[in-house]
Amino acid sequence: MKKLFAKFVNRETISYGIFGVLTTLLNIFLFRFLLFVNVEYKIANLVTLVLVKLAAYICNKNFVFKSHCDNFWELCKEVLRFVFARGATALIDYSGLILLVEVAQFDKMYSKIFVTVLVIVINYVVGKKHVFKSKKDGTALEKERETR
């Protein structure tokens, strides 16, 4: 039981939780502010997604996964993996919000919160497994280097 607990509750998951809460608050408050100033909700969501994804990259790279790239090419590949992965979850966020608001007729804010929580979980798994690959974990990045 202790091993299982340690696997899921560690520095990485705690820092992901902290920065996840901060970026989620930014996401929701920025979305709410843009709605308040009468920006159409689809545009508000798009603007919010772009700004929050940028903040998330900086936080995840530097504080959560503590990713280090040995050269510019590795950094470019990491950024591209992040953009691709977060672009995919941004589509889930964007289309999920529209689906909940326009098809299911749910409240915009409650829908935004629901979709955001779903995306947070997906982002952690994708970030851990595919974007911020640790060299010490024996991940694909290390294996890729060994095959060169």
Residue 27 in domain? yes
Beta strands per DSSP E along the chain: none
- The candidate with the shortest Cα–Cα distance to 55, out of 47, 128, 37, is 47
In the chain, how many domains are there? 1
Residue 142 in domain? no
Residue 28: partners with Cβ closer than 8 Å, 6 or more residues away = 109, 112, 113, 116
pLDDT tens for the 148 residues of the chain, in order: 777 777 778 888 899 889 988 998 999 999 999 999 999 999 999 999 999 989 999 998 999 888 889 999 999 999 998 889 888 898 999 999 999 999 999 999 999 999 988 998 898 888 878 788 765 554 444 444 444 3
* Predicted TM-score of the model (pTM): 0.72
Domain range spanning residue 73?
12-135
Residue 140 in domain? no
Residue 144 in domain? no
